[in-house]
Amino acid sequence: MKKINDLLIALGILSLLLLLVAGPLYRFEVLELGTAFLLLRWAAYIGIGAGVLLIVWLVWQRPKGTRATLSIIALITAAVAVWMPYSQLQQARSVPPIHDITTDTENPPEFVAIASLRADAPNPVEYAGPETAEQQLKAYPDLETYRTDLATEELYDKALAAVKDMGWELVAGDRDEGRIEATDTTTWFGFKDDVVIRIRVQAGETQLDIRSKSRVGRSDVGKNADRIREFLARLDK
């Protein structure tokens, strides 16, 4: 019986380990993206199986001491291995399957310096088009052009400070053109999302538009919209 318990404990811990290593293995190019996602799926499957059997074991055998503690720890790790992929799946289902978000869907800012960095990216540098714009406007109606009475140079400095505060890698910046380009790298999988900021005077007011686009993946799981919201909020601070 103890061997069965040991096996269940090992499976519970293994499920979390598979979950944790999937991102770094892809980030350091050990695994392809599809294989890394398959690893996440198997982590969830193992976590479900181990979690259910551990609950049965705890109710049936009522272990005590160290064995009980290890069983509970394994149950918690299995639950985490299931919950994280599930929460990501639910988040993906709650947003449209798009990855190119901008505050100006009619005339989105264009990538210039970053264009060469995306040469081999699965998602092309060009704007995704009217179908994506339509989906964005329905899902994220709050994302609009930022308008202010500040001079373009002053807004540029605020925008550049916000870029640095958010930890983005600055690729290019031109105060005269009112353009900033940067890359944000996600922590776990190391996904690279590119950002371009455009500042100009329109209709007697200073306007800032921002565009955030993922290099890989059909859906960004809402990450680009969240990034734009956080950036615009920092401008107001």
| CATH architecture group of domain 100-236 | 2-Layer Sandwich (3.30)
The pLDDT of residue 64 is 85
pLDDT at 107 over 80: yes
pLDDT at 237 over 90: no
Domain boundaries, the chain: 2-94, 100-236
- Structure confidence at residue 87 as a pLDDT band (50, 70, 90): very high
Greatest alpha-carbon pair distance for the chain in Å reads: 78
Task: State the average pLDDT for the chain.
Answer: 96
pLDDT at 65 over 90: no
The pLDDT of residue 2 is 80
How far is residue 189's CA from residue 33's CA, in Å, rounded to a whole number? Answer: 9
- Structure confidence at residue 184 as a pLDDT band (50, 70, 90): very high
pLDDT at 63 over 90: no
The pLDDT of residue 62 is 87
The pLDDT of residue 162 is 98
CA atoms within 13 A on the CB side of 40: 21
How far is residue 163's CA from residue 227's CA, in Å, rounded to a whole number? Answer: 11
Question: What is the arithmetic mean of pLDDT over 208-232?
Answer: 97
Question: What is the arithmetic mean of pLDDT over 54-70?
Answer: 89
Assess contact for 66 and 94: CB atoms under 8 A: no
How far is residue 187's CA from residue 191's CA, in Å, rounded to a whole number? Answer: 8
Assess contact for 189 and 23: CB atoms under 8 A: yes
pLDDT at 77 over 90: yes
Bin 33: left if φ > 0, else alpha if -120 < ψ < 50, else beta: alpha
